Amino acid sequence: MPHRHAGAHRATHAARGLAAACLVACATALAAHATAPDAPLPVQELRPGVFVHLGAIEDWGPANGGDVANLAFVVGSRCVAVIDTGGTPAIGRALRAAVARATPLPVCYVINTHAHPDHVLGNVAFRGEATRFVASARFARALAARAPSYLNALARDFGLRLAPAELVYPDVAVERSTELDLGQRVLELRAWPTAHTDNDLTVYDPASRTLFASDLLFVQHMPALDGSLRGWVAAMAELQQVPATLVVPGHGPAREDVRAALAEQSTYLDGLLRAVRAAVQGGLTLSQAVDRVGVPDGASWLLAERFHRRNVTAAFAELEWEDDTAPATGARAPGAKP
Q: Domains in the chain and their CATH numbers? A: 13-319 (3.60.15.10)
Q: What is the pLDDT, as a whole number, of residue 297?
A: 86
Does position 244 have pLDDT exceeding 60, yes or no? yes
pLDDT tens-digit series, residues 184-219: 999 999 999 999 999 999 999 999 999 999 999 999
Does position 53 have pLDDT exceeding 60, yes or no? yes
Q: What is the pLDDT, as a whole number, of residue 323?
A: 66
Distance, CA of 254 to chain centre: 11
**Distance (Å, whole) CA 26 – CA 24:** 6
Measured CA distances, 255 to 1, 54, 177, 249 (Å): 25, 12, 24, 8
**Distance (Å, whole) CA 107 – CA 294:** 45
Where does 36-109 have alpha helices with state H? Answer: 89-102
Q: What is the pLDDT, as a whole number, of residue 38?
A: 63
**Distance (Å, whole) CA 255 – CA 51:** 14
CB neighbour class for 309 (10 Å; exposed up to 12, middle 13-18, buried from 19): middle
Contact present, 288 and 279 (Cβ < 8 Å)? yes
Confidence category of residue 69, pLDDT binned at 50, 70, 90: very high
Name the residue with higher pLDDT: 22 or 214.
214
pLDDT tens-digit series, residues 117-149: 999 999 999 998 799 999 999 999 999 999 999
**Distance (Å, whole) CA 165 – CA 289:** 42
